[in-house]
Structure 1
Amino acid sequence: MDYKKMAREVLDEIGGPENVSNMTHCATRLRLNLRDTSIVDDKSVKSIEGVVDVVNKAGQYQLLIGTEVPKLYDEFENLVKGNGNISTDASNAESGGIISNIFSAISAIFAPLLPALAGSGILRGLLILGVQLGLISENSGTYSIMFVASMSVFYFLPVLLAFTSARRFGASPYLSALIGAALIHPDFIGLMGDAGNGVVTDFFGVPVVLMNYNSTVVPIILSIWAFSYLYKFLDKHIPDTLKLVVIPLISLGVMIPLTVIVIGPIGVYSGEAVAGIVNWLIERSSILTGIVIGGGWSVLVSLGIHWAVNPIMINNVSTYGFDYIVPFTFACNFAVIGTTIGIYFKARDKRLKSFALTGLITIVLSAIIEATLFGLLVKNKKLFLAQIIGGAVGGAYLGLTKVVTNAFVFGSVTTFPAFVTENNSNFINAMIGLAISLVVSGILAFFFTRQDEKLAE
């Protein structure tokens, strides 16, 4: 695929660089904030080679590309920046609505870290499995090295999120990373002693409530968002001859104390509150939660707003070491797989069967459901309903049995190790729940599909 040519074609079809107010990407989509969407012909954009589908939702014009979207984004970014309309992908996109900006920010901050989070989670699951099978001793150097390899991404999450947040909000990524690193410095953590969160020290007489910030999500994002305003102010008003020293001096001298005194505790408590509410709802009615998320996740994905939930799952894994929500997203994905199987065995149209089979293989190996979702299910309400019901039923079982994952991953066969925990029944119940999603949606899709069904254009 010639991504440079593809980027030019996309840019021409959406009205040129002057029509782009902000741009970012997630795992599979190029997400654009356009100044005027009325001038864009969706059919022309979808006809571009490599564009699977187009979605205009939540204030964003989204092009479904697939897992190669970063390559397109790099070429697209060069074209738009070269025009001078956008100085950086970290622009605050004030032209978009509040909800649009929030979703755009979340996807831009977390998307670059998804491979590291997923890979580390799978490695952690394999390590647990190795211990359970007696292949690795927890007292061995091998275990310690592999444990560090699998858990470092979570421990140093404030540093990584600081870097990606800076790119989004328009601050210095390297100064931002230093702010994140300061929060997990051994001497700072040592101030708490053995007491943990809540210990009070002081900064020039100002009380400081100490927190352990390793593996946290919300505090550093809030901190870098605030820092972006200070950084832009300093960059604008300090002479070029003094920027090299003065900007870092003021940035670190102001932001680190401000973060540990004000922003950090607010972030910790607010993040814990949101995660606590979600987890309380799951504990209160895990079956209902499984039905709603397992059945409704595909709807959120189709609208492009599922990113609003991802930080909660990441926060749960980094804070508690497990998450209840990720299994429900697996139920959705396996319901999509079941739907493709039902279609494949019922339909006679070769093009439809080929599309269903391609979607099945893609989800099994990479957990990417968007191509099947937009190319097939969204266009056929009965099949979409089959998938939703299958996901809801499987999600109900996963909720009933309190299945968890030890990592934030996308649901596919290759990510099954995320279900490996010290509780052996967790993996067994996970497989049962996913099988339920697959079978129920597969049977419904088989009955809902006509033998003469065609692939909708």
Structure 2
Amino acid sequence: MEKYQQLASEIIENVGGKDNILGLTHCVTRLRFKLRDESLANDEFLKNHEGVVTVLKSAGQYQVVIGNHVPDVFKVVREQAGLSDDLSTIEDDKKEMSLFARFFDFISGVMMPSIAILSASGIIKGLNTVLSVAGVYSAESSYYTLINAIGDAMFYFFPIILGYNTARKLKMNPYIGLTLGAIMCYPEINGVDLSFFGHNINATYTSTVLPIILLVCLAAPVERFFNKVLPSAVKTFMTPMLVMLICLPIGFALIGPLANLVGLYLGKGINTVIGISPILAGILLGGMWQLFVMFGVHMMIIMPSIMGLMQGTPDAMMAMISLVSFTQLGIVLAIWMKTRDKKLKNIALPAWIASIFGVTEPAIYGVTLPRRKMFVLSCIMGAISGGLLGVLNVKAYTMAGLGIFGLPGMIDPNSGDLDNLVKAIIVMIITTILSLVAGYILFKDDKVEATMDEVGTNHTKMTSVSNAIGEAEVLVNPIKGTILPLNEVKDDAFAQGIMGKGIAIDPEEGHVYAPCDGTVMTVFPTKHAIGLISEGGSEILIHLGMDTVQLNGQYFEAHVESGQKVVKGDLLISFDLDAIKDAGYSMVTPIIVTNTRDYSEISPVSTTGDITVGTDLLSLQV
């Protein structure tokens, strides 16, 4: 950022100084100022500055056009001008999201940063058990103890990580969330009797999910309140102190016991259903088990079963849950096999490996939960697995692990009969195959397939154009609509070619597809624009509409993220075309090659008429 310090300083000075700035946002290429008095800005100085492309005034905004590196300049300007986040940052507009969508967005945002380490930890735990069973070292050895600690620590101290992630998601001090999680894991308050005002509380928070998330949700508004009312001189340390002193006792005394109580009664209820109908119980337990894991109540549910197994009583519930991980295994394996998204492949590979060993958190939070249909499918398959185990009356006889490590627990230690184990293996194989097949059939990358097929004939016709040009890179049309010359766009930065050469499309449909194979450079938070770099090196800006940044993301939905690899035809962004037009915005979309200077010629294949997705659009000659 140091190279932008002088540029930022000169921009601030020539928009009238810090005191003249009422607000600052940015889009893909521009700093968008709200100024007290635009007459104080030095237009000519900024237009002639080597770090500024041009200056525009539109919709009450003073726009300083920078280029693709505007996010870096924005951060430095914000810091130098002393602008707070709420004054200077555009957030995604979630007003149009359903409650269900918000829930999944929140859970995914809290869990996704931890997926890679969860996967690694799950694999380490599984390998440790395999090496122990294979006789490489015993479960009592120092090797087993150390490796088990390496694999188990992430799960044991998960509330600390979740506290940090949840706090960041809720825009509060993440170190308060982290500290709250650490306190929840403090050994002397876990699993011991503590008495408050005559009431005994015994709760365990290590390896849980829901309690710390709820606690941080409580802490966030409390922090905002104290940051608002406390003097600046003391709030830096007083706010965290008061948040912890107020929220932690409430969380420990109410949230934890409530979660434990919910789990306890769920466990009793399921055992009652098992006594009435093992098949129905298997369907319910298998179908809902992953939800129980998500909310951290699963340990309390199985406590009665654990106690029974320790006393030598065979248990059907432990059998029903031990094989649920194979539903995630089959579905995530199918996604890994089918997807062309390299980032998703990298997440799915360790996730399905961890599922073999019964560790499903990476698969749930990293792969299936963000793709709701796949998560629902995994629950359906879990219900089938549990129902089959209920039909066959499979039981667990001893405490074992989950996944493949749950199988030894299916052997009757008294008789040595393997019939129960064989039934469990049959269900495991059936569940995995069914999940794999269903997942492979139902999973689809966000990609245009039919549209590309429709234009296949037209694309063939256009191939001769690119061949005639020689060593040219060809970008295909990303949006169905009508072609317009760039100089007809009602925005000088685009119309005059200041941002680069290209073409414009007046859309007929609300879908934007990748015009080439390449990488997403940036998806602006308001999702009205996206930047890509092709495998051939062209830098492409697709700017959806004029001044649509002011919608703050309303009516737009992004299907990719920065850094993601895409192939030609992948769905990038969708938008509600009619709603945007009804709101008074033009959806004429410039498609610009921002590194125009790297090419000897950039020419549209056609400049007028209707055009379908996938048809050759721009020819780039080096």
TM-score tier (shorter): 0.5 to 0.7
The 5-angstrom pairing of residues 302-451 of structure 1 reads: 310-312=293-295, 315-316=298-299, 324-325=320-321, 327-328=323-324, 330-331=326-327, 334=330, 367=352, 396-398=387-389, 400=392, 401=394, 406=401, 419=406, 431-437=425-431
Structure 2 CA distance for aligned equivalents of residues 113 and 282 of structure 1: 35
Kindly tell me the number of residue pairs found equivalent between the two proteins: 324
SS at match of 1:201: strand
Letter in 2 for 1:212: T
* d(CA) in 2 for partners of 1:390, 1:250: 47
Q: CA deviation at 1:238?
A: 2.0
Gaps of 5+ in 2: 1-24, 28-70, 76-84, 307-317, 353-362, 412-417, 440-448, 452-622
Q: Does structure 1 residue 85 correspond to structure 2 residue 90?
A: yes
Q: Summarize the Cα distance change of 1:213–1:388 in structure 2 as closer, same or farther, 3 Å threshold.
A: closer
SS at match of 2:195: strand
User: Higher helix share goes to which structure?
Assistant: 1
- 1:154-173 aligned at under 5 Å gives the runs 154-173=155-174
User: What's the offset of the Cα at 1:112?
Assistant: 2.8
Instruction: Report the Cα offset of residue 233 of structure 1.
Output: 0.9
Give the deviation of 1:279 after TM superposition.
Answer: 7.1
Q: How far does residue 128 in structure 1 lie from its aligned partner after superposition? A: 2.5
* Residues 216 and 283 of structure 1: CA distance in aligned 2, closer, same or farther (over 3 Å): farther
CA distance in 2, matches of 1:251, 1:388: 38
Within 5 Å, give how 1:14-29 maps onto structure 2.
none
Distance 1:214 1:153 in 2: 10
What pairs with 1:99-114 in structure 2 (closer than 5 Å)? Answer: 99-114=100-115
Q: Which one has more relative contact order, counting CA pairs under 8 Å at least 6 apart?
A: 1
2:250 — aligned with what? 258
The C-alpha deviation readout for 1:384-424, integer Å capped at 9, x for no partner, is x9x999887655435543589946xxxxxxxx656565556
Q: Which residue of 1 aligns with 2:206?
A: 214
Q: CA deviation at 1:271?
A: 4.4
Letter in 1 for 2:110: I
Counterparts of 2:349 and 2:431, CA distance in 1:
14
- 1:150-189 Cα distance to aligned partner (Å, 9 max, x none): 2222321222222222122333221122222223323434
In the TM superposition, what is the alpha-carbon distance from 1:99 to its structure 2 partner?
Answer: 3.2
Instruction: State the match for 1:43 in structure 2.
Output: none
Q: Which has the higher strand share?
A: 2
- Between the aligned partners of 2:117 and 2:239, the Cα distance in structure 1 is 31
TM-score normalized with structure 1 length: 0.53
The 8 Å contact of residues 210 and 260 in structure 1, kept in 2 or not, is answered as no
Q: Which residue among 225, 238, 249 is the counterpart of 2:230? A: 238
- CA deviation vs aligned residue, 1:22-64 (integer Å, no higher than 9, x gap): xxxxxxxxxxxxxxxxxxxxxxxxxxxxxxxxxxxxxxxxxxx
Structure 1 pair 133–232 and aligned structure 2 pair: CA distance change class (3 A): same
Letter in 1 for 2:388: Y
Change (3 A) 1:357 1:249: closer
Contact 1:291 1:391 in 2 (8 A): yes
* Cα offset, 1:311, TM superposition: 0.8
Aligned residue for 1:231, secondary structure, equals helix
* Separation in structure 1 between the aligned mates of residue 424 and residue 450 of structure 2, nearest angstrom: 34
State percent identity of aligned pairs: 23
In structure 2, how many angstroms separate the alpha carbons of the residues matched to 1:293 and 1:17?
A: 49
5+ residue gaps in structure 1?
Answer: 1-15, 19-73, 190-195, 298-305, 341-353, 379-384, 408-415, 446-454
Assess, with a 3 A threshold, how the Cα gap between structure 1 residues 357 and 108 changes in structure 2: closer, same or farther. closer
Change in Cα spacing, 1:259 to 1:442, as seen in structure 2 (3 Å) is closer
- Bigger shift: 323-332 or 97-106? 323-332
- Corresponding residue SS for 1:136: coil
Scaled by the length of structure 2, what TM-score is found?
0.41
- Superposed CA RMSD in Å reads 5.4
1:128–1:422 CA contact under 8 A, matched in 2: no
Q: Are the equivalent residues in 2 in contact too, given 1:154–1:318 (CA < 8 A)? A: no
Q: SS of the residue aligned with 1:137?
A: coil
Contact 1:288 1:396 in 2 (8 A): yes
TM-aligned CA distance change 1:358 to 1:272, over 3 Å? same
Offset, 1:144: 1.5
Structure 1 residue 82 displacement after superposition:
11
Q: Give distance in 1, aligned partners of 2:102 and 2:339.
A: 34
Q: Which has the larger Rg?
A: 2
- Distance change >3 Å, CA 151–CA 365, structure 1 → 2: closer
Residues 166 and 172 in structure 1, CA contact (< 8 A), matched pair in contact too:
yes
Cα distance in 1 for partners of 2:148, 2:123 equals 12
